[in-house]
Structure 1
Amino acid sequence: MSLPNEAQAALDSFQAAAGWEQRARLLMQWGERLPALGEAEKIEANRVHGCESQVWLTGSLQDGRWRFSASSDARMIRGLVALLLVRVNGLGAEELQGLDLPDWFNQLGLSRQLSPSRSNGLNAVLQRMRELTRQP
């Protein structure tokens, strides 16, 4: 499966990074680029449960393709969520169901730095995305 352009750009920049410090800086930059959710979207119904940090997620279907927006109160999580969004935005529901999240973060060179709680949190975000795609 080919990557969306933005995901390929992320992959290229992370693979070119020399070591964890550069990747951490890139991660923060991706988090800063994440468009903020409005206060009206930061409601309990949009909160992702299973994350230690506060994470909110919204999704909409446009022409059979999903677009997600998210926000977090934690810088590192914001970066990770931003990288998840560039990987999933524009996918159809079936492609989203089959996404291999650990493989994506492994390709980015970030999987070793993901603590179990961060990994669980990202999985919770992906699960929430999958739930949204199944709603009528």
Structure 2
Amino acid sequence: MASPAFEDIVEDFEFLDDWEDRYRHVIEQGKAMAPLNDALKVPATKVHGCASQVWLHPMIENGVFRFDGDSDALIVRGLIAVLRALYNGSPVAEVPGIDARAELERLGLNDHLSAQRSNGLRSMIDRIRDVASEHA
């Protein structure tokens, strides 16, 4: 089972029948997220493979994985917020084993993202897993 924060998003999505409403909800999740400090928007935190500008700043404290992120695209910023709900607070050793594709499928995101957005999302997930694997 995913984190309680992610389960809350799944529950919210169950009440939103229309994909447009779900899309808006993802964007709202991103708008509610604190912006990443500009000092952290550096080449080392930039995610390649995304159509828009994306930065992820992972932190591991006491074996617990967290990350902050940002993007110049509203929907991608929302996707970062969804991934934060999925991964943040997980033991770092468990992060690589979280099946993000399956969890995101519960939201129906895979069916409604463009190929470019799907590739970008996959790049973000790969970065998260790679960082966690290095520290597990």
Q: TM-score, normalised by structure 1?
A: 0.92
1:48 maps to 47
State the number of aligned residues.
135
Matches of 1:12 and 1:64 in 2, distance apart? Answer: 28
The 5-angstrom pairing of residues 1-136 of structure 1 reads 2-135=1-134
Structure 1 vs Structure 2 CA RMSD = 1.3
Matches of 2:58 and 2:29 in 1, distance apart? Answer: 19
- Off by >3 Å, runs of 4+ in structure 1: none
Q: CA deviation at 1:103?
A: 1.2
In 1, are the aligned partners of 2:28 and 2:78 still within 8 Å (CA)?
yes
Matches of 1:102 and 1:115 in 2, distance apart? Answer: 15
Matches of 1:33 and 1:97 in 2, distance apart? Answer: 26
In 2, are the aligned partners of 1:15 and 1:109 still within 8 Å (CA)?
no
| Matching residue's letter, 2:82 | L
Matches of 1:34 and 1:54 in 2, distance apart? Answer: 16
In 2, are the aligned partners of 1:14 and 1:109 still within 8 Å (CA)?
no
In 2, are the aligned partners of 1:60 and 1:66 still within 8 Å (CA)?
yes
Instruction: State, as a whole percentage, how many aligned pairs show the same letter.
Output: 35
Q: Against the structure 1 CA distance between its residues 77 and 42, is the aligned structure 2 distance closer, same or farther, given a 3 Å change threshold?
A: same
Matches of 1:50 and 1:92 in 2, distance apart? Answer: 26
Matches of 1:126 and 1:106 in 2, distance apart? Answer: 14
SS of aligned partner of 1:131: helix
Runs of 5+ unmatched residues, structure 1: none
Q: CA deviation at 1:47?
A: 0.2
Q: TM-score, normalised by structure 2?
A: 0.92
SS of aligned partner of 1:31: helix
